[in-house]
Amino acid sequence: MKFKLHIWRQENARAKGHFETYDIDNISADCSFLEMLDQLNEKLINDHIAHPVCFDNDCREGICGMCGLYINGRPHGNDDGVTTCQLHMRHFKDGDEIWVEPWRAKAFPIIKDLVVDRTAFDKIIQAGGYISATTGGVPDANNILIPKHKADQSMDAAACIGCGACVAACKNASAMLFVGAKVSHLALLPQGRPEAQDRVRKMVCKMDELGFGSCTNTYACEAECPKQIKRQNIARLNRNWIGQMFGRDRNE
């Protein structure tokens, strides 16, 4: 397979970026998108065409959330429920033009080319994403009885990998789905309840401080989330926010 790649190149956050076009061929349909970029970089280096394209990646198994790229107008590309490293070239047609950009958000400044600084997410978690319950050794599974539907909701929310696709998809660059998932997976379980009200207040305030936008309920975040985190977590976040103002538990 061969492709025409239009890739965003930018030296740093202050530099003016632009698209550069590269042609690449002999790409296997079973090749992942990041492997294709590896082959492009090998060509750029060996043929002395340009400096290699900088992009973020780590696990290449859809777990770490590092590989987020904006591909043909969609976070993580044109397949549903996958990260960029899980996207394969068989989802494109031979001869396709592919446009590749970094996440676009004030809170995610560009470091270089396709790499953005997502430490804003770390700061939100540091603001309140913890529990103070002393667990000691590994407790027996039946010591704390948790209704199955609550455990399932908590585990579904905990699947969030913090890739930032929700922010990239949102017209306001809102982080409400990410924060909603982090609030939910802790607050739904007994161990996370003591800090529930403080947690939502601190995390939402930090989110606003870092420059993320407001949620306008278009649900693009849910549609583009590679882990299919549900918008119900945003509703739970809002209920918790209202509850903390009136001193009430809103973790239903």
Estimate to the nearest angstrom the gap between the alpha carbon of 50 and the chain centroid. 29
Domain end marker among 111, 130, 159: 111
Residue 56 confidence class, pLDDT cut points 50, 70, 90: very high
Residue 170: is its pLDDT beyond 60?
A: yes
**pLDDT tens-digit readout, 187-228:** 898 888 888 889 999 999 999 999 999 999 999 999 999 999
Neighbours of 139 (CB within 10 A): 9
* Tally of domains in the chain: 2
Between strands 97-101 and 3-9, the pairing is: parallel
Residues 76 and 187 placed together within one structural domain of the fold: no
- Domain interval for residue 39: 3-111
Find out whether 92 and 1 touch, Cβ atoms under 8 Å.
yes
- pLDDT attached to residue 192: 85
Block residue for tokens 């070239």: 89
Residue 238 lies inside a defined structural domain of this protein: yes
For 15, residues 6+ apart whose C-beta sits below 8 A from its C-beta are none
Residues 153 and 97 placed together within one structural domain of the fold: no
CA terminus-to-terminus distance, the chain: 51
Domain end marker among 111, 141, 172: 111
Residues 71 and 132 placed together within one structural domain of the fold: no
Residues 96 and 214 placed together within one structural domain of the fold: no
Residues 16 and 54 placed together within one structural domain of the fold: yes
**pLDDT tens-digit readout, 68-123:** 999 999 999 999 999 999 999 999 999 999 999 999 999 999 999 999 999 999 99
Residue 205 lies inside a defined structural domain of this protein: yes
Residues 190 and 99 placed together within one structural domain of the fold: no
Residues 207 and 149 placed together within one structural domain of the fold: yes
Residue 138: is its pLDDT beyond 70?
A: no
User: 3-state SS of the chain: helix, strand, coil percent to 5?
Assistant: 40, 15, 50
- pLDDT attached to residue 252: 56
Residues 80 and 127 placed together within one structural domain of the fold: no
Residues 25 and 91 placed together within one structural domain of the fold: yes
**pLDDT tens-digit readout, 120-130:** 999 999 998 88
Residue 248: is its pLDDT beyond 80?
A: no
Residue 130 lies inside a defined structural domain of this protein: yes
Burial class (CB in 10 A: 0-12, 13-18, 19+), 29: exposed
Residue 143 confidence class, pLDDT cut points 50, 70, 90: confident
Residues 105 and 126 placed together within one structural domain of the fold: no
Residue 246 confidence class, pLDDT cut points 50, 70, 90: confident
| Nearest alpha-carbon partner for 72 in 132, 19, 12 | 19
Domain end marker among 111, 130, 155: 111
Higher pLDDT, 183 or 136: 183
Average pLDDT of the residues in 54-60: 94
- pLDDT attached to residue 35: 97
CATH of the domain at 18: 3.10.20.30
Residues 89 and 147 placed together within one structural domain of the fold: no
Q: Which range among 3-7, 88-92, 108-112, 133-137 shows the weakest confidence by mean pLDDT?
A: 133-137
Average pLDDT of the residues in 52-73: 95
CA distances in angstroms from 39 to 33, 189, 214, 222, listed in the order given: 10, 45, 39, 32
Residues 91 and 53 placed together within one structural domain of the fold: yes
**pLDDT tens-digit readout, 14-44:** 999 999 999 999 999 999 999 999 999 999 9
Residue 251 lies inside a defined structural domain of this protein: no
Mark 152-177 as b/e (b = at least 16 C-beta within 10 Å).
ebbebbbebbbbbbbbbbbeebbbbb
